[in-house]
Structure 1
Amino acid sequence: MLSFTSSHLTSARVGLVVFLFASASFVGNAQGPSAAQSLAPREAQRVEETAEFHHQLGVAYHLRRSLEDASREYTRALELDPPRDLADEEWQLARRFAPRVYVTPSEFFPLKDFAVILHPTERLIAYHFFWEDDIDFPEDNDPCDHELMWVRYSPDRMSIEKIWTYFHGRMLAGGEAALSDARRNLMRPRVNVQWGKHGSMPADWEELMIIADRGDAENKYYPVDRPISLKLYNEGTFRKLSEEGRRLANHPLGRRAGWPKKFSGTWNDFINFSKIIEPLDLLDKHKMAAVSRWNSATLNQHFLRYNFRPKTEWPVEVSHVRFQD
């Protein structure tokens, strides 16, 4: 007898999203754009009427820059599983574990917005950063650079158990040094932010291991397709930005905005994360916080009037994995 776990069902739903988009593209080629645009949402609603499915479809549309379709699916997801405002004790949680954000003194882009999403059933908080832009992408039609980090807090809600940061499509897990740093600073974890590119790193970033790939802009400056230290990765990034300069250095949008073409300092300047940015100032000003399973939908429908690139929702598949208290 075959048995299917929740993760199997999730994989099937993701596969269905891919199938719907493939079908939409095929029909679009044969019948024109209007057929392609209308097929996937109609079929999706017939096949699966859950918040999870509509949210996955919304993210897929969002990544394709089909923003009206994405917003429609996000709206339906939140109709089926609405976010809610934070209670007083949840505001305390959001503030208690909020990151201390450090940039280099020469960081060009300001932090324009900051949002907090608390998971409704797991001990997880997502902290979203929206920088004004990314030094390497003047042409991507995103009026911000979306980055984030997560914390898992203890059952008594007083301390941090785990820290993750988002780093160029990868997830970095902070070790004991990062947790100790947070405990020395009233449970607020430190996040170091790359100059111009805004990859987010925990306090113990230097010795963390990642696998660089050929899609990285600086791939010729470090080994690829095998584990390397984050220090070595950042050394390659520094060399690329200081020797060659940023991607599309002569793009008219970057020129008009006065973006620096190169990083002009030394390696020590590049890793001098000494300027603090207080995200709680933005949280107090804009009150962008909610309790929801669906980060991207909530950001899109409740907080931001401009486009952002959706990123990883949670550090694990919390819909199907329970933490042990």
Structure 2
Amino acid sequence: MFHIYTHEFSYAQKELIQFVSNGKISDTDYFLIAIDQLELLKKADPDNLLYTAWQAEYLHLDGNLRRAAEQYRRVLEQDPLQPLTPDEERRIKKFCPELRVNPRECFPLKDIVAVHHPEQPLIGYHLFWEDDFDFPDDGEPCDHEEIWVEYDREEETVTRVMTFFHSRVIHSDAAVEEARNNQQRPIVRVEWGKHGSLLKGWESMTESLTNVTLLEWMKQTYEHVKSGGRVPEHPLKRFWPKGFEGTFDQYLEFPDVVDPLDWLEKKPLMFKTRWANAVICTHGLLYNFHPKMEWPERYWNISRNKEDS
């Protein structure tokens, strides 16, 4: 009889995910369900650190920061930070991206945390802008964006550049070539107010989840922020610009340079771990941030599953 119940529950789980996707179940309610389920999974398989890390992320997303920090600490207790070698520290600085921003950008860069993968020649650069134009009310006094740089250990050259663009990972061969022509430092264009990270050649890219071109995405975002964005009358926005003031062509201008290396030199938040959210929370920042996936592989797994389904 029990196998009937488990079969029926597996069907209910699929329905649950569908209801979350279409908004019939709120994110907050789903977080609570996921947190409880992960607690059971931790008890059943205490050596699987993914369950603890995922639970920490869900607690974090739900705004339960103390409990999230507790779980993040447990992750790092079971899989401690590794010391960076002098070469790894040097490479973090060598491959640090340069940012190109719009001259009308309204939020400064606050912090950068660099995380070297413990096994792969891969570095995650976590950027924290002062805020996101659409989210003054999220309880997160920053906008967390990500850039990943893969490199060749022997030649010490960039082999891949990836960025997190509105929950999608994008990459381009042109960005690699551009980095090699810029002393191995990738160049990333940053969207006004929302800080989507664009790579060279972005104008001809299509994002993989919806097949929308990035150019069309930028046109839609331009119209959105020009008219005030989300919650335009929110009191926390009263000292912000009313919206982007300029044409679409001006929206696509990225002439001003912001160099995250200056931040790393002044405040060297550099670590070696696979648990980026955990180290940012417990060793990096003194303020709340939005947890994001540590490494691009999490996104590639979703993309592969989408193609297989």
Q: TM-score, normalised by structure 2?
A: 0.82
Q: Distance in 1 between matches of 2:298 and 2:292?
A: 14
Which residue of 2 is the match for residue 315 of structure 1?
Answer: 296
Match for residue 276 of structure 2?
Answer: 295
Contact persistence 1:93–1:157 (CA under 8 A): no
The letter for the 2-side match of 1:188 is R
- The 1-side partners of 2:208 and 2:298 are apart by 22
1:122 paired to 2:120: yes
Match of 2:70 in 1: 72
Percent identity over the alignment?
37
The verdict on how the C-alpha distance between 1:106 and 1:80 changes in structure 2, with shifts beyond 3 A counting, is same
Secondary structure of the residue aligned to 2:43 is helix
Q: Which residue of 1 aligns with 2:175?
A: 178
Distance 1:53 1:41, change over 3 A: closer
Q: How far off is 1:211 after superposition?
A: 5.7
- Partner in structure 2 of residue 198 of structure 1: 195
**Residue 122 to residue 259, structure 1, CA distance change in 2 (3 Å):** same
Deviation at 1:41, TM superposition (A): 7.8
Three-state SS of the structure 2 residue aligned to 1:234 is helix
Is the partner of 2:207 in helix, strand or coil?
strand
Tell me how far 1:157 sits from its aligned partner.
5.2
Matched letter for residue 181 of structure 2 = R
Partner residue, 1:229: 213
Q: Give distance in 2, aligned partners of 1:166 and 1:154.
A: 22
What TM-score, normalized to structure 1? 0.78
Q: Does 1:252 align with 2:252?
A: no
For 1:313 and 1:147, the matched residues in 2 are separated by 11
- In the alignment, what sits opposite 2:242? 261
Structure 2, unaligned stretches of length 5 or more?
Answer: 1-12, 18-28, 302-309
C-alpha distance 169-39 of structure 1, shift in aligned 2 (>3 A): closer
Where does the alignment leave 5 or more consecutive residues of structure 1 unmatched? 1-14, 20-28, 30-35, 213-225, 321-325
Indicate how the Cα distance of structure 1 residues 234 and 54 shifts in structure 2: closer, same or farther if over 3 A, else same: same
Report the AA paired with residue 78 of structure 1: L
Residue 254 of structure 1 aligns with an amino acid whose one-letter code is: K
Residue pair 1:118, 1:292 contacting (<8 A) in 2 also = yes
Partner of residue 305, structure 1: 286
Matched, 1:61 2:77: no
SS of the residue corresponding to residue 128 of structure 1 reads strand
How many residues align? The count is 273
CA distance in 1, matches of 2:292, 2:276: 9
Q: Extract structure 1 runs of 4+ deviating beyond 3 A.
A: 38-45
Distance 1:308 1:62 in 2: 9
